[in-house]
Chain A
Amino acid sequence: MAKEKKGVRLEHISKIYQDPKTKKEFYAVKDTTLDIEPGTFVTLLGPSGCGKTTTLRMIAGFESPDEGEIYLGGEPINELTPNKRDTAMVFQSYALLPHYNVFDNVAYGLKIRKLPKSEIKQKVTDILRLVELEGMESRMTNQLSGGQQQRVALARALVLEPGVLLFDEPLSNLDAKLRVSMRTEIRKIQQKVGITAIYVTHDQSEAMSLSDKIIIMSKGKVEQIGTPREVYYRPSSRFVADFIGEANFLDAKVKEARGEKALIEVNGEEMEVNNYIGRKPGEEACLVLRPEAVLLADKGQLPCEVTLSTFMGAYQYYQVKAGEVTVQITDYNPVNKKIYETGEKAFLDFDTDGVYIL
């Protein structure tokens, strides 16, 4: 449906803000270079204050970068005002025009583009069918549920057939269940329309389920870019490993390194694990253990002592002490498994081929 899918390129973009209290300047976004392929769904993911929303607002044109250039479909757009950019944004608060009904909200941008009345009507009807709001044209926006308002906001952006669709945490005002069903729907519609989409969120499960690619940001910088699988299984830094999913970190020392493998020493035990980021012999590193990738057993790789054991229904939750570090373990479907009680000695049991050091 989109006239033309456009790619977005950020070249050495920086944005400086001033702290309103201390008057000190700081980088909200620092020297960021990104390439977003046409037609892909990309998520900007990170904790609050990491610069993801600022980045999105610079693409939309609400903020101007202090350094660098932004390209949309190959054209530099730094000097264009938001109304002249081929982008459309879905806002966190939906930002529906409260004095207009659903139809007029969706038709607003089309009227500005001076399309003939019949064409506007056709387009609005089509798009409302796509987001499953047909028949709601004359409702006022305050008569709609949160999910329906969200769909209007989406329809209003889609109907303009923008080169790129921007989402600013659009689901954060919905309740948990609706959030899950809406994100599936957003993904379905995006794939049907085939539009380029950039989506800002701090919710990692949203990012995982929606994206072709996830861009993880921290303190104004890009930490890692990759598919959901890549960022989960091969995080490039402790920050990413910690931010995406849960992770336990055990201090390790690298003894030997061969290709993507390394021999390390953890709590006095030696083992061979993956070394994706190329740690060198002699370096201090940390072994990353996902809570679901470790089990408790009578024998295994590392000795430990159980400090907390709680039944959670879907899994048994343990906290154990391995050396100086507390490790969290989620043992799924524990129905016929041995349950370790607090104070018991046990071993951490994991597949050394599936874990890695950072």
Chain B
Amino acid sequence: MANNQNARLERRKFFSDPILVSMIVILIVFLALFILYPLLMLLLDSVFTEGKVTLDVFRRVLSMQRFRKAFTNTLVLGFIVGLASTLIGLLFAYVEVYVKVRTKVLEKLFGVVSMLPVVSPPFVLSLSMIMLFGRSGLITRTLLHIYDADVYGLKGIAIVQTLTFFPVCYLMLKGLLKNIDPSLEEATRDMGATRWKVFTSVTLPLLLPGLGNAFLVTFIESVADFANPMMIGGSYDTLATTIYLQVTGSFDSTGAAAMSVVLLSLTVVLFLIQKYYLERKTAATLTGKASRERMLITDKSVTIPLTIFCTLVAAFVTLMYIMVPFGALFTLWGRNYSLSLKWFQYMFKTSGLIAFRDSIVLSLIAAPLTALLSMVIAYLVVKRKFKAKGFIEFVSMLAMAVPGTVLGIGYIRGYANGLFRTGVMQGLYGTGLILIIVFIVRSLPTGTRSGISALRQIDKSIEESAYDMGANSARVFTTVTLPLIKDSFFSGLVTSFVRSITAISAFILLVTPQYLLITCQINEQAEKGNYGVACAYATVLIVITYGMVLIMNGLIRIFGTSRGTGE
């Protein structure tokens, strides 16, 4: 059958919209230049030595005892954290959806817990973990009088990462559990199954792909995490920290490139399984919406243990966050618990103000760009047909699987001497612009994802009608699409601001003395053992991010939900 005319006409129509075409070209160039190219450079670096293709670098890296240890460490850690987070997340989700425990305190705690992944800088939990259980920890030393407590290493990272990532699992699984039709469970119950049997024969099998999904997402996060292993890992090195040390300690960036390729392959493979296999399976098994309210479990033998467990975990997490401002307010942690403002004063006297200014300014520039860009990508992916669509969707999602450290090394290898070491665009390296670009790349996938799911809700004929009335793509996008997904736009705005201002992994490698970032300051102070100052920075950072979230909610209330008043 002849498809030529259709293809020709579609092409004609497509190219008669210059704004659309140039937008797509810009996007492709951006994605190729700032996501694909740095990764490609890592690969090239690790297989080319003096103009020859060889596996020497890989051989050298693989023979390093340190690297092999780090590789196993990373997998072990990821496995433990993935499993623990999924389990705790499942318990929380189950309690929320199935169990009747409507106490105000617990609801508040659940709210806090689900809020944490949004506002929390990544290493805050490590910081308070050290302050609570470290050598001069509040609990270990002051309360229990243990003087040689060792919180560093695998158990420290595992606990901290689990507490950091389980809220993500909780939110994912909550959504899935809500989609299980209660009549399925009632039917099996009616046929004589016990509650446990219902859970194992209905709920669990339906949820299984979702659990796998949650496990892999956390696994990837854990493997990619840099800040926590850096701070609380002690001698337990993971791939992310080893790569960092390979660059900053051994000045071996080719070796680091090869290691990055290994780490990247690991996360990308996991990501592909997660995205293209498990996510689809989840969608396939849990399609129906719950037909009506679920009868909540009131049986005390179920509710009491579950409630106690969840309350303890949630309370513990909350406690760890509360530790941070106190860490900044106590005169000397572990010795003198009188209140003082000296750490804050110290912070502002040294580089505090500059760090806040730089972090905030750079994040404020990056956030609207990210939000807009991700909405444009979402629009193109969901609403338009064109050849490069698959490329755009894939690359912008791929960025989710790229660990920050890997991206950082990629930028060093790719831009320190210009594009392909020719000196072209060399001026970019070391500027604030490259930091902004990394901010954008790091937050793009989440924004795009939320944009895509928001756009899928919108009947395509609404945009078609605007198109039919004479609007071109740019006009359709600005007058129809964007106003309809402004909730998603605003939340993308804030999420990317928060992610940018709390990010560290890629930036610690790229930041130059010219710019001071809050997160790098926290890391530096904590490494030096100045926990008071680190806590002071972290406190202000949490206040900023939390304030941003409040502003977002306010904005959405004003502009988002009310359906506008025209022009």
Residue of A nearest to B4 (CB): A66
Interface contact B6-A16, CB-CB below 8 Å: yes
Given A87-B468, A91-B461, A93-B459, also A112-B484 (CB < 8 A): no
Among the stretches B12-20, B208-216, B519-527, the one at the interface with A is: B12-20
Q: A81-B16, A91-B461 are in contact. Are A98 and B484 (CB under 8 A)?
A: yes
The answer on a CB contact under 8 Å between B6 and A81 is no
Question: A27 vs B6: C-alpha distance in the bound complex, in angstroms?
Answer: 13
Query: In the assembled complex, which residues on chain A have CB atoms less than 8 Å from the CB atom of B12?
Result: 79
- The answer to whether A95 touches B459 (Cβ under 8 A) is yes
Residues of A within 8 A of B3 (CB): 16, 66
Q: Which residue of B lies closest to A15 (CB)?
A: B6
- A65 near B9: Cβ-Cβ < 8 Å: yes
Contact of A112 with B475 in the complex, beta carbons under 8 Å: yes
Question: A99 is contacted by which of B464, B475, B483 (Cβ under 8 Å)?
Answer: B483
Q: What is the size category of the interface that chain A forms with chain B?
A: 35 or more
In the complex, whether B514 has a CB less than 8 A from a CB of chain A is no
A95 near B9 (CB under 8 angstroms)? no
Counting CB contacts under 8 A, is A100 at the interface?
yes
Q: How far is the CA of A61 from the CA of B9 in the complex (A)?
A: 10
Interfacial residues of chain A within 51-101, with CB under 8 A of chain B in the complex: 60-62, 64-67, 78-84, 87-89, 91-93, 95-101
A64 partner, pick from B5, B462, B480, beta carbons under 8 A = B5
A78 and B9 contact, CB distance less than 8 A: yes
Q: Does B513 contact A (CB under 8 A)?
A: no
Which residues of chain A are near B17, meaning CB under 8 Å?
Answer: 81
Pick the interface stretch among A40-48, A102-110, A289-297.
A102-110
Could you tell me if A101 and B468 are in contact, using CB atoms closer than 8 angstroms? no
Decide yes or no whether A321 CB sits under 8 A from chain B: no
B51 on the A face (CB < 8 A)? no
B566 pairs with A112, CB closer than 8 A: no
Q: Could you say which of B1, B465, B469 contacts A16, with CB atoms under 8 Å apart?
A: B1
B470 at interface by CB-CB < 8 Å: yes
Cβ of B2 within 8 Å of any chain A Cβ, yes or no, is yes
Q: Which residues of B contact A60 (CB under 8 A)?
A: 468
Report the minimal beta-carbon distance from A336 to chain B, rounded to whole angstroms: 52
A65 contacts B6, C-beta separation under 8 Å: yes
Q: In the complex, what residues of B have CB within 8 A of residue A108's CB?
A: 466, 469, 471, 479
Task: Confirm or deny: A140 has a beta carbon within 8 angstroms of a beta carbon on chain B.
Answer: yes
How far in angstroms is the closest Cβ of chain A from B489? Answer: 13
Instruction: Let me know if A202 is at the binding interface, CB within 8 A.
Output: no
Q: Are B1 and A66 in contact (CB under 8 A)?
A: yes
A291 to B462 Cα, complex, angstroms: 43
Q: What would 24 A/B residue contacts be, using CB atoms closer than 8 Å?
A: A16-B3, A16-B6, A61-B13, A62-B464, A65-B5, A78-B9, A80-B13, A81-B16, A82-B464, A82-B468, A83-B469, A84-B16, A84-B470, A87-B468, A91-B461, A98-B462, A98-B484, A99-B484, A101-B565, A108-B471, A108-B479, A109-B470, A142-B563, A156-B469
Residues in B lying within 8 Å of A, measured CB to CB: 1-6, 9-10, 12-13, 16-17, 459, 461-462, 464-472, 475, 479-480, 483-484, 563-567
The 3 closest A-B pairs by CB, nearest first: A109-B469, A64-B9, A95-B465
